Amino acid sequence: MLRFHDPEFLILLLVVPFLIYWYIRRHTKASGTMRFSNLGNIKNIRSTPSKKYRHVLFLFRLFAVILLIIAFARPQSGTKEEQIITEGIDIIMAMDISSSMLAEDLARHKNRLDVTKEVAGQFISERTNDRIGMVVFSAKSYTQCPLTLDYGILLKFLQEIHIGMIEDGTAIGMAVANCVNRLRSSKAKSKVVILLTDGRNNRGELDPVTAAQIAKTMKVRIYTIGAGKHGEALYPIDDPFLGKRYVPMKVDIDEDVLKKIASTTGGRYFRATDKTSLQKIYQEIGELEKTKIEVKEFTRYSELFVNFLLAALGLLLLEVILANTRFRKIP
């Protein structure tokens, strides 16, 4: 990108045609006389090659004038640059891995945990500039992955989650407390917890509502998701005689507590009854917690007039040297 800082000087280029006209007119009309006693010697003088190039001095001076005018106009070369300002969000995904997550009611031939891992993986892959961490819980709560921008390692930790890695039970209050503790030192403008469970709190030293109040004081917003269809769901069991078979199990989600946790912290409660609804929930949370990206575009200019000035001075110097050597005229 090229521009002129003082383009008004370019109007001086209109002088160039007049200089050319003046030079041509001067040399067509100019003539000189010399007296010789004998013209024979004059006729024997051969024309030198330098005579054919005598007009190059004028061209040097003409181009020097053009370059000086361009230098006065201050040509500048510009490069466009972008400054991207992002306000990332710190998100902790808390996932219930109690044995009830083996129920197969969110998708055909897939248990709740497998469906949740798949949808959570899609959610992670669609985020940018956000630090995301992961907490798993059943009877106790553990950090599966601390806050990170390395989504590759986060997805790897997500795939390693399985039922049975922690003692069975549902400690929702402890899960909330663990998430808040992970976000305690966060300097992000938005601190979010996405908590998914299919049951009710029955383990842990801290009840969920108290944990939610702690989250509120730490300015942590919690979105809660109840996973499971209404009524009964098929739960697989291993029968020593009949092998794997399914038995109906009542879906028991403590929606009142989950709603209380969400409302206390300024979040929302969602109910996922199948994979499609769970995908829509994560998509909606993603829209509610959008990363702010501000792009500032600016152009950085560098001065080029020095190059034109040096070239003009070089041509003038060359003209002076040639005029006093190769193309020197007899006074």
For residue 16, name the pLDDT band (cuts at 50, 70, 90): confident
**What does 249-294 look like in DSSP terms, one character per residue?**
EE----HHHHHHHHHHHT--EEEE-SHHHHHHHHHHHHHHTPPEEE
| Domain match, 258 and 303 both | no
Residue 330, in any domain of the structure: no
Instruction: Provide the number of structural domains found in the chain.
Output: 2
| Domain match, 124 and 238 both | yes
| Domain match, 57 and 21 both | yes
Domain housing 69: 2-30+41-80+299-323
Residue 36, in any domain of the structure: no
| pLDDT score of 237 | 87
| Domain match, 190 and 56 both | no
| Domain match, 99 and 163 both | yes
Rounded CA-CA distance 81/299 in Å is 6
Residue 331, in any domain of the structure: no
| Domain match, 280 and 313 both | no
Residue 117, in any domain of the structure: yes
Residue 169, in any domain of the structure: yes
In the structure encoding, which two tokens stand for residue 233, read together? Answer: 């769901």
Q: What percent of the chain has pLDDT over 90?
A: 52
pLDDT in tens, 33-67: 555 555 555 555 555 555 566 778 888 888 888 88
| Domain match, 234 and 269 both | yes
Q: Are 143 and 134 in contact (CB under 8 A)?
A: yes
165 — phi, psi (to 5°)? -75, -15
For residue 302, name the pLDDT band (cuts at 50, 70, 90): confident
| Domain match, 7 and 93 both | no
pLDDT in tens, 125-148: 999 889 999 999 999 999 999 999
Is 84's pLDDT higher than 90?
A: no
Residue 35, in any domain of the structure: no
| Domain match, 177 and 277 both | yes
| Domain match, 178 and 104 both | yes
| Domain match, 9 and 101 both | no
The CATH number of whichever domain residue 246 belongs to comes to 3.40.50.410
Q: Are 254 and 199 in contact (CB under 8 A)?
A: yes
| pLDDT score of 330 | 54
Rounded CA-CA distance 199/174 in Å is 14
Is 293's pLDDT higher than 60?
A: no
| pLDDT score of 301 | 74
Query: Considering only 8-22, 195-209, 228-242, 287-301, which range has the smallest mean pLDDT?
Result: 287-301
Residue 257, in any domain of the structure: yes
pTM of the model: 0.65
| Domain match, 195 and 278 both | yes
Residue 329, in any domain of the structure: no
In the structure encoding, which two tokens stand for residue 254, read together? Answer: 């403590």
